[in-house]
Amino acid sequence: MPPERVARRQTKRDRKTDGTWAFYARHTLTCRSTDGPHDWWEPLTPTHTDEVHKFNRSDYLRVLPPTDPDYSRVYGMRADTESLNAQFERAFYNRRLPAWGLHNAAPKPAL
């Protein structure tokens, strides 16, 4: 059987106790044997079990689905942002931010 597209019905966010946000998507899938709907909330942000199973949730699930009108605007900037961050890191000696004071400075490379 070919794979079936899972419909996203709703997206919500909850504030966690540490002040960050958790995003969830409500999905609906029709059961092939009973023709009844299956509804569930799927976390879109990493969970504590993701690291154990080596699952990178952000590679497979996105807060905005490709059908969202804001998808191309938000995810279109992702490559530019990552490129600028990489340039910023490479701009400093040994990929480290400068530290003020003799004791905090990184050792000088031998010539």
Which tens digits make up the pLDDT trace of 31-58? 888 989 889 999 988 888 998 998 888 7
Residue 110's pLDDT is what? 59
Half-sphere exposure of 87 (CA within 13 A, CB side): 6
Q: Kindly report the pTM of this predicted structure.
A: 0.56
Task: State the residue for tokens 């909850």.
Answer: 14
Helices of type H across the chain: 48-52, 57-60, 71-76, 78-90
* Least confident piece of the model among 3-12, 25-34, 42-51: 3-12
Residue 76's pLDDT is what? 77
Residue 87's pLDDT is what? 78
46 vs 109 pLDDT, higher one: 46
